[in-house]
Amino acid sequence: MTTSALKMLQVAQADYDSAQKSYMNELERDVERREGSGAQERRREEIQRDLRDRRDESLRNLNVATQNLVGEVIALNGCKESELSEAQLGLLGHAILNNRKYGLSIEMADAANQQRLTAAQSRGEAAKIQSEADRRIAISRT
Q: Among 75, 106, 122, give the residue marking a domain's end.
A: 75
- Among residues 25, 43, 75, the one where a domain terminates is 75
Residue 85 and residue 71 share a domain: no
Question: Which domain does 92 fall in, by range?
Answer: 79-142
DSSP character at residue 135: P
Under 8 Å CB-to-CB from 124, ≥6 apart: which residues?
none
Verify that 33 and 68 share a domain, yes or no: yes
The pTM for the full model equals 0.74
Predicted local confidence at residue 2, as pLDDT: 53
How does pLDDT run across 43-87, given as a tens digit for each residue? 999 999 999 999 999 999 999 999 999 999 999 998 888 888 888
Task: Tally the domains of the chain.
Answer: 2
25-37 average pLDDT score: 91
Q: Which of 37, 55, 75 is the last residue of a domain?
A: 75
Higher pLDDT, 33 or 2: 33
| Signed CA dihedral, 116, 121, 127, 128: sign only | negative
Candidates 74, 95, 67; CA nearest to 141 is 74
